[in-house]
Structure 1
């Protein structure tokens, strides 16, 4: 047996559990995290059919799926979750038995400016999908959420899956709302729902509006890292390959009705992340501060999130990629990726601070 075949066999043996899918639909599969999930599924499990459903919003790209686009067990469908008829048609014609629902608006800064779009996509989109899943008789529905639904925490608090949700920004509020729509389908209709809540994820394919790719792209372009506030806010950072592996574990070994945190112990302040990136990209610089500037803070900025992943560890998963190695892989990818990787330009994403003015709010104010 060749080394590659042996490795694939070992992966499958590790993931043997109580559930084996046949036809999987991954929503938002052309986006950041979900594209890595799609790639792992297609490559590791050629016996599964993987349908990527994505409306190709600004932060998605078909190029994220280049390495599996010609695989016989992969199919891409462009569509909007708000189209109930299309969702019904796809579930029926593709004989979908499993859904990994990762599609969402995710950028916190944008949610302060136009929260209505987040409610439409994250809440209503999830409701349309879970209702269709109920009618179709889906056998496993994995709903992807975020650690931000727990709200900000102090140094001595580590959130577990049974904690009360206390979101503090519009994005997190819509993710918590979506959870509270999806979860009752398990209790009321016996739909086999599983919820995940993850730390900050970094790696290739991420649209450069998030902190690590944004800082990398700015430094590569001769611009300084732009830090909200004083840079003391901290986050846990987990590499996208480890997160995709977590979804492989949850897909095969997760328990219906449960929630799983996907986290790590790697925590840095925004300032520390910027300093590490400056050292990596500007090795001859004696003072990282020369490439760091401070801009206005968010309307509200959570101090930190800290979650326990013990429940997921009990299923056999643990992160493997060190922050240093993952960061170098990320830097290398953004250094060589073409500027037209995404369908729209990324210049606005590299701005020091987003424009928080909402067209919807303006329209409402005009009417008032």
Structure 2
């Protein structure tokens, strides 16, 4: 276990301790920075194994903060996780660590099951034993799967259609089991497609932007008519902090926007927005699982509170 901390030598008392798994990844890093800056009286521990999709550069803004600590490690490592909960007085867990690339999930489905399901179980077991006060599990709206409905709420049936969304649905079930059996304070969030700074290039928006900056064609999987709802990273972070402060244990919260575009619309708009770029056009291909229609998921939040974000398409460029 590698630990890097400006707080380790500072003999401070913190009113709360928050563990963020996957905190050097895309969404997790935004939440880590927001927590460190918003709650200077809290200790924020970032646990990340630093794979290809994560980087400590994503949290460089807070790396010298006295209430921030980085721990390099894997959520599947039972010994490490148990040691962490035994040595740190953790009150809150944000669980973002996961394998998330759908195409990869077809190539190595067992790895997705191991990280996304078993890693969640290991974390829940240790957190429950340590009597953590709040455990927020970050899931995805992809668990709703294929549907002809225009909108989904938290009570819509789950119909995952690929190994990635199946693993996330299974991890949700493990988390909610701890609430149903032990009344362990678990909260599940299901978010739209989040985009913004720190996002890895395998995702559609940074991939298209990177291709266009190189004057290469945007490759569309299938017809390109499949629609997606997009949520900017800072809006997603605001939603996660609201769930932390106001969410009810045992609840599921959809987090999303009504900002919907088809993939081909997205590509065409980016072509017009990227400066100094000749129009390279579009190309198409067929990918595993491509026949599955995309989900349009609006946020309802079980009637408690509602997040509705409407970003401008031009904000896609400000990475």
Aligned pairs for 1:231-310 within 5 A: 231-282=224-275, 285=278, 288=279, 290-310=280-300
Distance 2:64 2:47 in 1: 16
Give the CA RMSD over aligned residues.
Answer: 1.6
Offset of residue 317 of structure 1:
4.1
Please give the secondary structure, in 1, of the residue aligned with 2:166: helix
Q: Comparing both structures, which one devotes a greater share of its residues to strand? A: 2
- TM-score, scaled to structure 2: 0.92
Instruction: Could you tell me which runs of 5 or more consecutive residues in structure 2 were left unpaired when the two chains were aligned.
Output: 1-14
Q: Comparing both structures, which one devotes a greater share of its residues to helix? A: 1
Distance 1:312 1:69 in 2: 37
Output one character per residue of 1:73-125: Cα deviation in whole Å (capped at 9) or x when no partner: 11100001111121111122221111000100000011111111101100110
The equivalent position to 1:323 in structure 2, one of 312, 316, 319, is 312
The equivalent position to 2:196 in structure 1, one of 199, 203, 207, is 203
Counterpart of 1:63? 57
- TM-score, scaled to structure 1: 0.80
Contact 1:238/1:264 (<8 A) preserved: yes
Offset of residue 326 of structure 1:
2.5
Contact 2:154/2:302 (<8 A) preserved: no
Output one character per residue of 1:323-354: Cα deviation in whole Å (capped at 9) or x when no partner: 32421312xxxxxxxxxxxxxxxxxxxxxxxx
Counterpart of 1:361? none
Offset of residue 302 of structure 1:
2.6
Contact 1:197/1:260 (<8 A) preserved: yes
Q: Does 1:53 align with 2:43?
A: no
Please give the secondary structure, in 1, of the residue aligned with 2:94: strand
Of structures 1 and 2, the one scoring higher in RCO (CA 8 A, sep 6+) is: 1
Distance 2:258 2:98 in 1: 25
Distance 1:159 1:100 in 2: 24
Gap change, CA 1:127 and 1:206, over 3 Å in 2: same
Contact 1:236/1:306 (<8 A) preserved: yes
Distance 1:326 1:102 in 2: 24
Distance 2:63 2:302 in 1: 31
Please give the secondary structure, in 2, of the residue aligned with 1:183: helix
Aligned pairs for 1:78-97 within 5 A: 78-97=72-91
Q: Which moved more, 1:86-95 or 1:38-47?
A: 86-95
Instruction: Could you tell me which runs of 5 or more consecutive residues in structure 1 were left unpaired when the two chains were aligned.
Output: 1-20, 331-368
Counterpart of 2:128? 134
Counterpart of 2:137? 143
Counterpart of 1:9? none
Contact 1:236/1:264 (<8 A) preserved: yes
The equivalent position to 1:193 in structure 2, one of 167, 186, 189, is 186
Offset of residue 230 of structure 1:
1.4
Please give the secondary structure, in 2, of the residue aligned with 1:308: coil
Offset of residue 313 of structure 1:
7.7
**Matched residue pairs, number?**
305
Please give the secondary structure, in 1, of the residue aligned with 2:283: strand
Output one character per residue of 1:205-263: Cα deviation in whole Å (capped at 9) or x when no partner: 01100000001111112211111011111100010100000001000100000000001
Offset of residue 312 of structure 1:
7.1
Contact 1:260/1:312 (<8 A) preserved: yes
Offset of residue 157 of structure 1:
3.2
Contact 1:25/1:98 (<8 A) preserved: yes
Distance 1:284 1:225 in 2: 13
Gap change, CA 1:99 and 1:190, over 3 Å in 2: same
Offset of residue 162 of structure 1:
1.4
Offset of residue 32 of structure 1:
0.2
Contact 2:222/2:290 (<8 A) preserved: no
